[in-house]
Structure 1
Amino acid sequence: MQFKEIIGQEKVKQQLVQTVKENRISHAQLFLSPVGSGALPLAVAYAQYINCLDRKENDSCGVCSSCRKYERLIHPDLHFSYPFFASSSIKTAVDVLDDWRNMLLQDLYFDMDIWRSKLEAANKQANIPIGECHDIIKKLSYKAFEAQTKVLIMWLPEYLDKSGNALLKLIEEPPANTLFILVAQSQDQILTTILSRTQIVKIPKLTGEEITNYLLENTGVNQNQAIDYSFLADGNLIEAKALAADIQGDSSGVFTSWLRMGFGNKVPDLIDFTDEAAKWGRENQKNFLKYGINYLRECCLIISGAEALVKLPPLTMETAKKLSEHVLTLPMAEAIITELEKAHYHIERNANPKILFLDVSLQLVKIIRFKTLPQGTQYIYN
């Protein structure tokens, strides 16, 4: 994995390259990022750059013997640790290393749900157990086989329980030329004893433009769909790709049309919409409702005078401003969000989609057309 293959994160790439050029590589680093931002690909590309035999100005060469082994994730001095489901036959991460490598070679952007689907989880809880900690200590006690620096990349150290304290001395005083890279999503869930011994590298969410461009170049969606999915994913490339694979149509246009039907009290049209929505499939229905929740939250920002914080694309922004100025008020938007959140909850639990969408549609009419808000909500006129 080379830096050039990673989507966005130019500032972080430059920062990592600079640490190598200036020979100030911290021996224990924590790559902290939201899900789907590319922290794991960055960790692999960083390790490859450190051990490249013919480094270029801003990237590894990609053709030396070290880079070729890194590309296939088979370099003898590159080690991985990650949560897994322990059993009588699976005691350390090495026991599922082939599954791990195959998944990474297919796509370096994944989350715990995707990794879980590759394993036989049954009803077990994933973790990084004490046996894995002892195996890490054993592996890193050996001299490097051929690289200048041994690298251990631990994905999701949040899954270390108290047994992770067995790694403290190794992390604090590692053997010479050893690099730990912990790739995490939640700083609060990491053992404080480990956290205090690492240098944190914060990796931001991907921008909407970066995700939009990726979808346009790598999927079959059109520009409007790419912009909508990028907005809905909110910097998470994994979710954006899932949306592009599952959702069909213009989310923004369909949702605003639904609101207009409610405002116009067009019950026959709402019934037709309900029939159509019932055919989408549960994942598409959940994504549609989630889009509506995010869209209305942006409308709340407009209504509140915080338009500068709104992340909607230009065309969608224009429609949202009209709705916010002429139709919606803050209590109305909040009431609709509540209804959509309840609908999303029930869809996840296999509610009948036809009945559910008809009920939500009628609630839209009450809230938007007749200004009837849930009990306890005070309506404020513009």
Structure 2
Amino acid sequence: MSLFDVIEMQPRAWSVLARSFTSDRLASAYLLTGAEGLGHWPLAVAFAALLNCEQPRTLSDGIPAPCGTCPACRNIAGINFEGLLPVVPIPPHKSETQLIDFTNEILQQLREEPFRILTSSENTTIPIATARKVKATVARRAAPGVKRVVLFHRMERMRQGSADALLKLLEEPPADTVLVLTTSQPEALLPTILSRCQRIRLQRVSSDLVTAYLRKVTEVSETQALQKARLSEGNPGRALALLDIDDTGEESRRAIAFQLFRSLFTDSGPSVAALFTELVDNRNRGAAEAVLVAWQSFLRDYLWLTGTGEDEAVANFDLRGELSRLTSAPLPADVVLAMKDRIKNALADLRRNTHIQLGLTALALELRTIIRKAA
């Protein structure tokens, strides 16, 4: 695994960050947005490395990048650098010791796989105590020659008190300090925070690059890597999550997701709701999110098949036959797009800690109604 693979995967975002460095026009705060799993964390860490690299290298397009070998680069990649202050959401805790332990566990996960999508069966938040500690730390001068980077990861998980502490940092940015915030839900952030940040949106990654990355960091076959890259729709973190499902013997989760998806087209509303209650664990938020992510992929393929009738670009190529049968009486494209929007909103609600069973059941009934009215 190389933390700096993100530079090739997110060339536009990296170009904005790197050029602000070379032009000596660093913003006091950056906000990295886009779907979770696209590389917010590694991009922010790579930027911290560039700001502190002893001998930056130059890419073919003239853009600088961290060398990856100097002590600063190595320490930053290991999240062990005095000038890098990472803040991550953690589960509920009862003591300072627990707070530290939970934080270290999350950081270790991100060291091992920086594109990882963090999931938890418990509600996670960015604690007020952590935000206040960071504020106190940056009030002191950084060590000579160190460009300090404060990294708030998954800002949508920040509590109000933490947001207030951050806002004060944004209003009076400390010298020699850059703030980098990441989120997949910028609409969940305070307008006063948004207005003080330079926003950079991460893009989908090509299937070729995702496939190559999977082959590099795992032992999957070319066929498996390509399938997961397609299913992920250009999202490395999502592709890795799909592989994790396979590794833990839970490939049936996608089969369950498709069974539920098919029921939207074939069963009554009450039957769909009953099937959800039976098949989806209402205590496992990660499993519920996986169902909705799979539905997004199924709808993409459905739209492709109804539009072209060809299946060479279908991501779920093992389900081509089943998907084709569902398109025998195709829904209009605007209806399918409306369904995708509903799923996207429901997924965002789930990540805001909406009640799992109620949220999924309401979505299923709404989608079933949309399909019935369009039929």
What amino acid is aligned across from residue 29 of structure 2 in structure 1? A
The structure 1 residue matched to 2:79, chosen from 46, 52, 73, is 73
Aligned to 1:41, the other structure's residue is in SS state: helix
Tell me the number of residue pairs that the alignment of Structure 1 and Structure 2 aligns: 308
Any idea what the Cα deviations from partners look like across 1:162-186, whole Å, max 9, x if unmatched? 2112332321221211110001110
Within a 5 Å distance, the mapping from 1:32-181 to structure 2 comes to: 32-57=33-58, 58-90=64-96, 94=100, 96-113=102-119, 116=120, 125-163=123-161, 164-181=163-180
Any idea what the Cα deviations from partners look like across 1:79-138, whole Å, max 9, x if unmatched? 11122234331389655443233222211122231xx47xxx5xxx42223322221210
Any idea what the Cα deviations from partners look like across 1:330-376, whole Å, max 9, x if unmatched? 159999xx9xx9xxxxxx99xxxxxxxxxxxxxxxxxxxxxxx9999
Q: Is the aligned partner of 1:241 residue 2:240?
A: yes
The structure 2 residue matched to 1:312, chosen from 308, 311, 314, is 314
2-structure distance, mates of 1:5, 1:235? 13
Q: How much does 1:43 deviate?
A: 0.2
2-structure distance, mates of 1:13, 1:160? 25
2-structure distance, mates of 1:110, 1:79? 19
2-structure distance, mates of 1:109, 1:311? 25
1-structure distance, mates of 2:229, 2:85? 33
Distance 1:93 1:80, change over 3 A: farther
Aligned to 1:298, the other structure's residue is in SS state: helix
Aligned to 1:109, the other structure's residue is in SS state: coil
Distance 1:92 1:134, change over 3 A: farther
Distance 1:217 1:104, change over 3 A: closer
Aligned to 1:80, the other structure's residue is in SS state: strand
Any idea what the Cα deviations from partners look like across 1:18-61, whole Å, max 9, x if unmatched? 11111111011101121110111000000110111222222222
Q: Is the aligned partner of 1:210 residue 2:209?
A: yes
Distance 1:379 1:46, change over 3 A: closer
Q: Is the aligned partner of 1:194 residue 2:199?
A: no
User: CA contact under 8 A between 1:82 and 1:156: conserved in structure 2?
Assistant: yes
User: CA contact under 8 A between 1:92 and 1:131: conserved in structure 2?
Assistant: no
- Unaligned residue ranges in structure 1 (runs of 5+): 259-277, 342-347, 350-372
Aligned to 1:200, the other structure's residue is in SS state: strand
Distance 1:219 1:100, change over 3 A: closer
2-structure distance, mates of 1:65, 1:192? 38
Q: How much does 1:11 deviate?
A: 2.3
1-structure distance, mates of 2:371, 2:41? 47
What amino acid is aligned across from residue 244 of structure 1 in structure 2? L
Q: How much does 1:218 deviate?
A: 3.8
What amino acid is aligned across from residue 242 of structure 2 in structure 1? L
Aligned to 2:9, the other structure's residue is in SS state: coil
Q: Is the aligned partner of 1:26 residue 2:27?
A: yes
User: CA contact under 8 A between 1:84 and 1:127: conserved in structure 2?
Assistant: yes
1-structure distance, mates of 2:373, 2:126? 50
1-structure distance, mates of 2:88, 2:304? 40
What amino acid is aligned across from residue 219 of structure 1 in structure 2? T
User: CA contact under 8 A between 2:305 and 2:324: conserved in structure 1?
Assistant: no
Q: Which of the pair has more CA radius of gyration?
A: 1
What amino acid is aligned across from residue 89 of structure 1 in structure 2? S
Task: Give the root-mean-square deviation of aligned CA atoms.
Answer: 4.5
Aligned to 1:180, the other structure's residue is in SS state: strand
Q: 2:272 aligns to what?
A: none
User: CA contact under 8 A between 1:232 and 1:240: conserved in structure 2?
Assistant: yes
Any idea what the Cα deviations from partners look like across 1:177-207, whole Å, max 9, x if unmatched? 1110001110111122211111111111223
Distance 1:30 1:211, change over 3 A: same
State the TM-score, normalizing by the size of structure 1.
0.66
2-structure distance, mates of 1:300, 1:71? 41
- Unaligned residue ranges in structure 2 (runs of 5+): 59-63, 260-278, 280-285, 344-355, 358-367
Q: Is the aligned partner of 1:329 residue 2:329?
A: yes
User: CA contact under 8 A between 1:37 and 1:237: conserved in structure 2?
Assistant: yes
Q: 2:15 aligns to what?
A: 14
What amino acid is aligned across from residue 27 of structure 2 in structure 1? S
User: CA contact under 8 A between 1:7 and 1:38: conserved in structure 2?
Assistant: no
User: CA contact under 8 A between 2:91 and 2:102: conserved in structure 1?
Assistant: no
2-structure distance, mates of 1:288, 1:45? 32
Aligned to 1:330, the other structure's residue is in SS state: coil
